């Protein structure tokens, strides 16, 4: 199975403040901002040559991201890898005793299927798996 880095997600308290570094000081482009009601976050997308950086800020104090921020502070939240077949990847992980946060794939606003691997199974790293867009078109 081939993997590709899709994005690195960084949790921040305030996106405009974080953009002062990532966009203004470092010089990365901001491609779009998005509010994701289901996840209770606002996201800023900063494309790279391969993949992107996503700045994630909670939109309330009760969301999972808000709790993460309160407990661990700002910083790397998760890495996202693209897989050609999400169902096969999820089954492979289950067969090897890996704990998934999602029993079934979720679907984002762009129609991409995704799931999360529990950090307990990935040595403290939250891993998101995206199904490659080309796989969704088959």
Neighbours of 43 (CB within 10 A): 17
| CATH value at residue 85 | 3.10.180.10
Residues 41 and 63 sit within 8 Å (Cβ to Cβ)? yes
Neighbours of 116 (CB within 10 A): 16
* Domain count for the chain: 1
Residue range(s) defining the domain that contains residue 41? 4-136
Averaged pLDDT score across all residues of the chain: 93
Q: How confident is the model at residue 86 (pLDDT cuts 50, 70, 90)?
A: very high
pTM of the model: 0.88
């Amino acid at each position: 199975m081939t993997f590709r880095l899709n994005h690195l997600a960084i949790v921040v308290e305030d996106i405009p403040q974080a953009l002062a570094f990532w966009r203004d000081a470092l010089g990365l482009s901001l491609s779009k901002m998005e509010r994701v009601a289901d996840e209770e976050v606002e996201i800023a997308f900063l494309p790279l040559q391969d993949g992107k950086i996503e700045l994630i800020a909670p939109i309330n104090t009760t969301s999972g991201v808000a709790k993460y921020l309160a407990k661990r502070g700002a910083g790397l939240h998760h890495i996202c890898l693209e897989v050609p077949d999400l169902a096969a990847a999820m089954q492979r992980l289950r067969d090897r005793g890996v704990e998934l946060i999602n029993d079934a794939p979720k679907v984002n606003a762009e129609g991409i299927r995704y799931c999360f691997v529990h950090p307990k199974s990935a040595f403290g790293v939250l891993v998101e798996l995206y199904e490659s867009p080309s796989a969704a078109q088959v």
